[in-house]
Amino acid sequence: MPIRFHHAVLLGGSAIAGLGLLDGTALAQSAAPIELPTISVTAPSPIVRRKPAVARAPVRVARTAPGRNAGTPPETVAALAPQRGVLPVVTDQFATVTVVPTEELRRSGATTLGDLLGNKPGITASGYAPGAASRPIIRGLDVNRVGIVENGIASNGASDLGEDHFVPVDPFAANQIEVIRGPATLRYGSQSIGGVVSSSNNRIPDAMPACATAPFQSYGLPAKAPVLGAAPCMNAETRTSISSADRGVEGGVLLDAAGGNVALHADVYGRRGGDYNVPSYPYAAPGLDFNGRQPNSSNQSSGASIGGSYIFDGGFIGAALTQNDTVYRIPGPEGAQVGTRIVGHQTKFTTKGEYRPDSAAIEAVRFWAGITDYRHNEVGRADAADPASDGVRQTFTNKEQEGRVELQMMPFDARFATVTTAFGVQASHQELTAPSPDDPNSPLNGLFSPNKNTRVAGYVFNELKFTETTKAQVAGRIEHVNLTGTTPSLIPQLFDLAANPGDIGAATGRDLSFAPKSFSLGLIQALPYDLIASVTGQYVERAPKAAELFSRGGHDATTTFDIGNPNLGIETAKSVEVALSKATGPFRFEITGYYTQFNGFIYRRLTGNSCDGASCIAGAGLELNQAIYSQRDATFRGGEFQSQLDVSQFYGGTWGIETQADVVRATFADGTNVPRIPPVRAGGGLFWRDANWLTRVNLLHAFAQNDVAVIAETPTNGYNLLKAEVSYNTRLDPRIYGAKEMTVGVVGNNLLNENIRNASSYNKNDVLQPGLNVRAFANLKF
């Protein structure tokens, strides 16, 4: 067992053993109890327990301190007000769920899901192009095994086809991000075997906004729950920030309005940043002036959305239209030489609804549907010395339609348990193209163009409540997957089209069908001292994706010449996960261990050969590494730990300690290493918070990653990531300030200005992560 694995285990174990002694006593001398924020998640299961949407109260309710006049701003009661920065631990789901609530989203200022989640236990980021193309990696699994959904519909871009492709789900408008692992992923499909990142926002309102209260309440009186039929009203929020490392600027506005039974939402945002600062030169390149920055790393993006819902006593129905645009550059030696950049655009129409009938059998009917039109151009100079050669080098398009309907039944007494069942049906159709701009009629017609993917699936979730302390879940899913595309009849490992055009046969159409089946079983047991234990088992089958089957060309982002394998079979994963957690009291923690056995694990196998656009030769010499999609048995095992301890009261607030650690080890059946696995990480820090202020400082150490693949992967040095933040939140009197709430803060990242290379990234040898960065932000609610 590697020494760094011992370090991580010892850190987690000592934290539980040592800090656990303080549980229940650390705040014994406190003057008043502290209210913890309520955590509510909806993505992990189709079985949702909540009040009808029309009865939902605002998240925050103003309280008037005793003795204050109703017409003056209320004083914050620290002993009662939920405090920011509290570790959210989910204990009522049959899955490990990482939650990023609204207040953390606003403080983080992350521009991509990868940047937002990359330092959470068990989650890293691809980090290919900071500020644009950074996709979450969960327990060492990415792209084809990690799903990304927004408001229940897949992101439907092309980020799973290339690490340099942007994820068209922006954290700007999100109300909450949930990362789901384990059995609950069956709700979204076998392609999400590693996990699902679910972003929820108010672009399709499912309740009346908080302003819709009746009768009108003057400032200082407790607000009432939003109601139907209220007079027209509107809430607004502005969000702005600046950052030092890239001279970045961000701004946006969100609007929520209501009148009668209609709720509306609109938002618009924009951001831009220059080439970001790095601690040292990441590589040597003649003719390039780095000037202390990562060359060719600037980016800019913008987006807008408008949506609305009709809300009635039994539910709601709504729709939204969203557009995302981005232009970002690809860092690295070649990218800097030829000015490689991606110009992306996505238009997406989504609709969803819920109906809770007054029925003895059916509790709720829900639906989601979406239509996506995605396109991006990869632009750069064909000749680094000739600006006139600048143009489109590759185009990706994705036209996708998806729909899902769920039926949640009322609980019934089966004597041995109370059983609640939910059924779901899901269908999707996708058309992908990546034609070659140089020779559209070539047998190597683009990377994998064209292909179609059609999926139809059904699933069922059953929750069994044996007692108030013992619950179980049984879930299953079956799919039918049909993929059609073209592939050359033969692609040998070594070929030269210029000398021997017959080396690659004529393009051959393929029509492939798969029927993956999946099953999961979970158990939750409440223990003394508010502890919750869980164990889950899962069997998942995954059909290959189009890129794995039909690829046949160069992929500059990964510096690989990808060769698909239309003979790939279904990939299966058998996994077990155990967890122990505590969400209440002064000591909150979560520790999880997992073991997954893959049969027929699909991956890019580097052969040691090299290629260009028209040939592959033995050994190195050409610009691209040859990679053939292959299957081998593999084993993934690891664990995650995080904790937060409120030590004592200090100057009217609470100070405490937080820790985290994670490890994943992945090997093939012969003991060799699975490529691009994140390193072991461990860290901790201090915090102080009250009802208005939050301050924290945290150090995360990543150990060196020496468990690398045999071919074409290099070790990665360890690093220390030091972060600190201070933020202030307060309610305002709108009659004086115009705004009713303000949050301002400063966040520092990589304060040690260390050279940080991402072990999971294809371009880690040429691209450093940003150096010391300070971000200042201000959010105002009106």
pLDDT in tens, 446-476: 677 788 999 999 999 999 999 999 999 999 9
Where b means 16+ CB within 10 Å and e means fewer, 666-693 reads bbbeeeebbbbbbbbbbbbbebbbbbbb
pLDDT in the model for residue 161: 79
Q: What are phi and psi of 611, to 5 degrees?
A: -140, 165
Highest mean pLDDT among 156-170, 445-459, 725-739: 725-739
pLDDT in the model for residue 761: 86
Over range 252-256, report the average pLDDT: 95
pLDDT in the model for residue 50: 60
Residue 178's pLDDT band, with cuts at 50, 70 and 90, is: very high
Dig out the tokens for 162 from the structure. 């290339």
pLDDT at residue 680 tops 80: yes
pLDDT in the model for residue 80: 39
Whole-prediction pTM value? 0.88
pLDDT in the model for residue 735: 86
pLDDT in the model for residue 303: 94
Percent of the chain with pLDDT over 90: 55
Residue 487's pLDDT band, with cuts at 50, 70 and 90, is: confident
pLDDT at residue 167 tops 70: yes
Task: Output 156 or 130, whichever has higher pLDDT.
Answer: 156
pLDDT in the model for residue 437: 65
Judged by average pLDDT, the poorest of 484-493, 562-571, 678-687, 733-742 is 484-493
pLDDT at residue 57 tops 60: no
Residue 134's pLDDT band, with cuts at 50, 70 and 90, is: confident
Residue 496's pLDDT band, with cuts at 50, 70 and 90, is: confident
Q: What are phi and psi of 426, to 5 degrees?
A: -135, 140
**Adjacent-strand bridge partners of 486:** 509
**Residue 303 and residue 269 in contact, taking contact as beta carbons nearer than 8 Å:** yes
Residue 498's pLDDT band, with cuts at 50, 70 and 90, is: confident
Judged by average pLDDT, the poorest of 179-193, 410-424, 567-581, 731-745 is 179-193
Over range 112-127, report the average pLDDT: 90
Return mean pLDDT, the chain.
Answer: 84
Residue 522 to residue 534: CA distance in whole angstroms: 7
Judged by average pLDDT, the poorest of 46-50, 133-137, 231-235, 743-747 is 46-50
Residue 211 to residue 222: CA distance in whole angstroms: 13
Q: What is the Cα gyration radius of the chain?
A: 26
Q: What is the pLDDT of residues 397-434, one digit of tens each?
A: 999 999 999 999 999 999 999 999 999 999 999 999 88
Q: What is the pLDDT of residues 582-632, one digit of tens each?
A: 999 999 999 999 999 999 999 989 898 998 877 899 998 898 889 999 999
Residue 52's pLDDT band, with cuts at 50, 70 and 90, is: very low
Cα-Cα-Cα-Cα torsion 47, 48, 54, 56, nearest 10 degrees, comes to 180
pLDDT at residue 79 tops 80: no
Residue 63's pLDDT band, with cuts at 50, 70 and 90, is: very low
Over range 130-137, report the average pLDDT: 80
Residue 586 to residue 654: CA distance in whole angstroms: 10
Dig out the tokens for 132 from the structure. 């644009």
Task: Output 243 or 378, whichever has higher pLDDT.
Answer: 243
pLDDT in the model for residue 12: 41
CA distances from 47 to 370, 472, 516, 539 (A): 22, 13, 23, 21
Residue 16's pLDDT band, with cuts at 50, 70 and 90, is: very low
Measured in Å, how far apart are the chain's first and last C-alpha atoms? 56
pLDDT at residue 219 tops 60: no
- The H or E element that residue 8 is part of is helix 3-14
Residue 225's pLDDT band, with cuts at 50, 70 and 90, is: low
CA distances from 728 to 82, 213, 486, 606, 745 (A): 14, 28, 57, 50, 6
Helix (H/G/I), strand (E/B), else coil: 20: helix
Q: What is the pLDDT of residues 503-549, one digit of tens each?
A: 777 778 889 999 999 999 999 999 999 999 999 999 999 999 988 99
pLDDT at residue 222 tops 70: no
Task: Output 35 or 668, whichever has higher pLDDT.
Answer: 668
AA letter at 68: R
pLDDT in the model for residue 547: 87
pLDDT in the model for residue 515: 96
Q: What is the 3-state secondary structure (H, E, C) of 277-317?
A: ECCCCCCCCCCCCCCCECCCCCEEEEEEEEEEEEEECCEEE
**Residue 448 and residue 417 in contact, taking contact as beta carbons nearer than 8 Å:** no
Over range 676-705, report the average pLDDT: 96
**Distance, CA of 338 to chain centre:** 31
CA distances from 397 to 373, 374, 433 (A): 8, 6, 5
Residue 108's pLDDT band, with cuts at 50, 70 and 90, is: confident
388 by Cβ neighbours in 10 Å (0-12 / 13-18 / 19+) ranks as: exposed
pLDDT at residue 127 tops 70: yes
